[in-house]
Structure 1
Amino acid sequence: MFSRNFRARMIAVAAIWISIVLFASGLGLSIVIRRVVEAHFDHDLLDHARELADLVELDAAQRLFIARNLSDPRFSPARSGMYWQVILQNGETVRSPSLQDDLSLSLSVTPDQTREGSLPPSTALANVEGPTGPMRMVRNISEPSRLGQPVEIRIGADERLISDEMEHLNLTLMATLGLLALAMVGTAYAQVAYGLRPLQRMSRAIVDVRSGKTTRLPEDLPEEIMPLVTELNGMITANLSMVDRARVLAGSFAHALKTPLAILDEEAARLKASGQESHAQILSEQCSRMALLIDYQTARAKASTIANAGAFAVVADVLRSIINTYSRFSPGHDRRFEVEGAADVVVACDTNDLTELIGNLLDNAAKWAHDLVVVSIEDLDSSVLITVEDDGPGIPAEHRMRVFDVGTRLDDAKPGTGLGLAIARDLTSLYDGRLWIEDSRIGGAALKLALRKKGDPGSS
């Protein structure tokens, strides 16, 4: 799929690149956000430490107590993840309610656990093992004047609180980046689709050239593809000119040969009049054969021109003309002709060539028919199937390919030169059609001709 679809390849590359960039960006943002969240936690802990320092008091017996609870209620529930501990110089200690359920729990720190941070010099940061897991702790030492001695305040928060916060932030970040990825891929698709529109227009123009609607590609396309358009227009013009010259040369050649043939034919008539009938017959037959061969090659040259130009013909008109002509100028042939199906269809074939095609098929059928020739037309969407049947003896299967060879005649007693079906075959191939033989419904042979419909670029 991707090797043959330019749009799919571009979209796939854009989607992969966007995914990689956004994934890397998401990882980087997650790391930065975690650092911001950790710094926020550290500053919150420092604020709580300062608040706690203002609440430390000594009673009349010089025992340490806290004037009231901290403003953050998370220090109250047991093992909540937020803890504090106040230690006087004399070793007296007061702990947060979240540590009161187990007197063995305490907030301890060793020098190797401290880390650098952006807090004041009197404050130290540490990553320690807390009561319920890894914990971030702020250790602040101050000497309030009302106490008259230094006091150490330790406040910690579980790392899981940061992880829980990051989980919600990461989900939001992932959803945002996912929507952004979809939007960017959609934008890339729209950009590729819009960018390829000139190529689609060019493709349709080529179809129009082939179907005969026009002979040139449009010249108002983007400048990036105009060199290609110019070259293609040049090729089309050169091809048409070359075919026209070939047609003129073929016509001139045929005309130049027909005059000597006419002279030879007159000479054959004089020989016959002088009593040399055998020589006259040989000469006359060869002249007729040469004339037919000239017509055969001229028809091929003409068909090649018309096929490239995208000519068309109405099947009904051609059939009506052939049958009327055959009935009028073929005395002694009392054949009945019947037409079935959608005869008003239009095929991509020159009218003269279609006349010769169907005329040869009808002539062959009438020559072998006992009484009836049936022509049926089927519209097959992209093509038209024309079937010419007769009620004659039919054509044996072993001879159905050979009858299309130039000069082949299955019965010398029948009139003809053996060129009709050969011409029909070559004309059919020049129009990308098909011609074959099957058994007839009425007992004889059925010659089937398939041609493209007008305006359809595909083959039949």
Structure 2
Amino acid sequence: MRSGSLRLRLGLAAAGLIALALALAGIGLTLIFDRVLDARTADGLDRTAKLIAGQVALAPDGAPTLPREPPDSRFSTPYGGLYWQIDRPVEAAGGATLRSRSLWDRSLGTVPDAAQEPAVGDLAGPDGGRLIAVTRRVTIPDRTGPVALAVTVAEDRRDLAQSRATFLRLLVPSLGALFAALTLAMSLFVRRALAPFRTLRADLAAIHAGTRTRLPDTFPEEVRPLVADLNRLLDAQERDLERARTGAGDMAHGLKTPLAVLDALARRTEGGHPALAAEIAEQAHAMARQVERTLARARAASGGLRRKACQVAPAVAKIAGALKRLPEGEALRWEIAVSDGLAFPGDEGDLTEILGNLLDNARKWAHRRIRVSGRAEGGEAGLVLEDDGPGMSEAAIAGIARGRRWDETRPGTGFGIAIARDLAEGVGARLRLSRSELGGLKVELCWPVPAA
């Protein structure tokens, strides 16, 4: 996929937005999990605080006592991560503190008073860690009157961190799998959304190939304005090309009569002024050839977007068969190997004129052999025409490229190749001249094969 591809750009943008959304979702889920974990932990600590508050009693000296400690073994293990403590205010008579064995020789303190009951907050742990703590303030009766106590239960946050790490180990792969699934779904969505443009490309290729003249009206509403503009462009181009062809034809017909008059004058003055007659005839023939070339260019330009395609093999066989019947052609060996199904991106008239000029030139200069081969390979198709004649020099090939005649000794030589070049370029083909391994001229006619 190329860097300028709209599908690639949309895919990358969608993947980036999905990644950003999942990253924000992951952060949000982690924060929600932390809050839910703190709430559940605080709820469990509060239940333990209620259990302790329901069992606490006062000794004769007023100190709090707990007949039965909570069953969790961490309360009895020094720095076990779970702690409880019962505080009687110091200002009260017999103020004292009762704490779990897990606190060893340290104390917890209490969560500061808050509007809610119980109070939830963080306290410093006995081993330097942070604790999540719940303090529930209760009042129990005594012989001297009600006594206020503060029951605090706390848990080390390092135990909660393990639960958080387990959650993240599950969350990250899950978000990764969700990212892959959403990216794949978005890729399929983008491909589906761009399907009308692929169809439009195929329809335009059909117009280029000549199998369709207009774009259909079956596209989605968002693409229809573009399709309508393209159809209007095709119609306008067809009208302009028709006017150009008509103008070229009118010019040719308008020049035929003056050229015929000049040719007649040249023949009439041959007796008295042979040099002048030869000069007039030469200029008349040059003008006729230029008119012929101009008409060929006009026909080549008439393809536009709406090009027709024709089969190459029948055209080669037809023209070669006609040339074989000429005196020079009967003595030549014609080697023709053109693949069936090879199509030329132009109408049959263009191909006939191109092949007629090239094969006739080969017939005039070949000694014994003419070889024609053609096939499509690697996105390009082409014809190769070779002969065993004298060939052409680099300077002559350059002159042909500029539309000049190659040789004056044989009529039409050079101009026919130039006309063939103009016709080929008009339909998007290329004409290359070089020396053949047979010894003569090698002409390669190449054109791109439209993608399916």
| TM tier relative to shorter chain | 0.7 to 0.9
Percent identical among aligned pairs is 32
CA apart distance, 1:175:
4.1
Whole-Å separation in 2 of the counterparts to 1:3 and 1:451 = 27
Mean Cα deviation higher: 300-309 or 137-146: 137-146
2:125: which partner in 1?
130
Asked whether the 8 Å contact 1:343–1:377 carries over to 2, the reply is: no
Mean Cα deviation higher: 88-97 or 343-352: 88-97
**Which residue of 92, 96, 99 corresponds with 1:95?**
99
For residue 80 of structure 2, give the secondary structure of its aligned residue in structure 1: coil
1:312: which partner in 2?
309
Asked whether the 8 Å contact 2:399–2:406 carries over to 1, the reply is: no
CA apart distance, 1:256:
2.5
**Which residue of 435, 438, 449 corresponds with 2:434?**
438
Whole-Å separation in 2 of the counterparts to 1:42 and 1:27 = 22
2:245: which partner in 1?
247
Asked whether the 8 Å contact 1:254–1:298 carries over to 2, the reply is: yes
1:107: which partner in 2?
108
| Cα deviation 1:104-162 (Å, max 9, x = unaligned) | 233235xxx62646324xxx444221123111222333233478744442211112223
Alignment of 1:135-174 (within 5 A): 135-145=131-141, 149-174=147-172
Whole-Å separation in 1 of the counterparts to 2:113 and 2:409 = 115
Change (3 A) 1:452 1:114: same
For residue 447 of structure 1, give the secondary structure of its aligned residue in structure 2: strand
**Which residue of 284, 300, 304 corresponds with 2:297?**
300
For residue 444 of structure 2, give the secondary structure of its aligned residue in structure 1: strand
State the AA in 2 paired with 1:192. Answer: V
1:363 pairs with 2:364: no
Asked whether the 8 Å contact 2:312–2:342 carries over to 1, the reply is: yes
For residue 436 of structure 1, give the secondary structure of its aligned residue in structure 2: strand
Mean Cα deviation higher: 374-383 or 55-64: 55-64
Mean Cα deviation higher: 247-256 or 36-45: 36-45
| Cα deviation 1:184-222 (Å, max 9, x = unaligned) | 433433332222222222222222222222121221222
State the AA in 2 paired with 1:27. Answer: I
Whole-Å separation in 1 of the counterparts to 2:422 and 2:295 = 12
Whole-Å separation in 1 of the counterparts to 2:73 and 2:125 = 19
Mean Cα deviation higher: 75-84 or 143-152: 143-152
1:48 pairs with 2:48: yes
1:12: which partner in 2?
12
**Which residue of 342, 349, 352 corresponds with 1:352?**
349
Change (3 A) 1:226 1:27: same
Whole-Å separation in 2 of the counterparts to 1:139 and 1:359 = 106
Asked whether the 8 Å contact 2:266–2:276 carries over to 1, the reply is: yes
State the AA in 2 paired with 1:451. Answer: W
Change (3 A) 1:288 1:209: same
For residue 213 of structure 2, give the secondary structure of its aligned residue in structure 1: coil
Change (3 A) 1:119 1:2: farther
1:37: which partner in 2?
37
CA apart distance, 1:396:
2.1
| Cα deviation 1:387-443 (Å, max 9, x = unaligned) | 221212222234322233333224x33343531111011112112211122221112
Asked whether the 8 Å contact 1:210–1:310 carries over to 2, the reply is: yes
Asked whether the 8 Å contact 1:389–1:446 carries over to 2, the reply is: yes
Alignment of 1:183-262 (within 5 A): 183-262=181-260
For residue 438 of structure 1, give the secondary structure of its aligned residue in structure 2: strand
Gaps of 5+ in 2: none
Asked whether the 8 Å contact 1:403–1:421 carries over to 2, the reply is: yes
Mean Cα deviation higher: 230-239 or 179-188: 179-188
Mean Cα deviation higher: 51-60 or 441-450: 51-60
1:405 pairs with 2:409: no
Q: How many residues align?
A: 445
CA apart distance, 1:344:
4.9
For residue 85 of structure 2, give the secondary structure of its aligned residue in structure 1: strand
Cα-Cα RMSD? 3.0
For residue 361 of structure 2, give the secondary structure of its aligned residue in structure 1: helix
Whole-Å separation in 2 of the counterparts to 1:404 and 1:125 = 94
For residue 45 of structure 1, give the secondary structure of its aligned residue in structure 2: helix
Whole-Å separation in 1 of the counterparts to 2:121 and 2:309 = 90
CA apart distance, 1:3:
6.2
For residue 391 of structure 2, give the secondary structure of its aligned residue in structure 1: coil
1:382: which partner in 2?
379
Asked whether the 8 Å contact 2:401–2:418 carries over to 1, the reply is: yes
CA apart distance, 1:237:
0.7
State the AA in 1 paired with 2:317. Answer: R
| Cα deviation 1:204-249 (Å, max 9, x = unaligned) | 2222222222121221222222222111110111001111121122
Change (3 A) 1:347 1:382: farther
Change (3 A) 1:189 1:84: same
Whole-Å separation in 1 of the counterparts to 2:139 and 2:304 = 105
1:70: which partner in 2?
70
Change (3 A) 1:127 1:394: same
CA apart distance, 1:81:
0.8
1:416: which partner in 2?
412
Asked whether the 8 Å contact 1:127–1:136 carries over to 2, the reply is: yes
Mean Cα deviation higher: 284-293 or 170-179: 170-179
Whole-Å separation in 2 of the counterparts to 1:292 and 1:333 = 28
CA apart distance, 1:30:
2.5
State the AA in 2 paired with 1:54. Answer: G
Change (3 A) 1:126 1:293: closer
1:118: which partner in 2?
116
Change (3 A) 1:319 1:262: same
Asked whether the 8 Å contact 1:202–1:218 carries over to 2, the reply is: no
For residue 194 of structure 2, give the secondary structure of its aligned residue in structure 1: helix
Whole-Å separation in 2 of the counterparts to 1:451 and 1:136 = 79
CA apart distance, 1:38:
1.9
TM-score by length of 2: 0.87
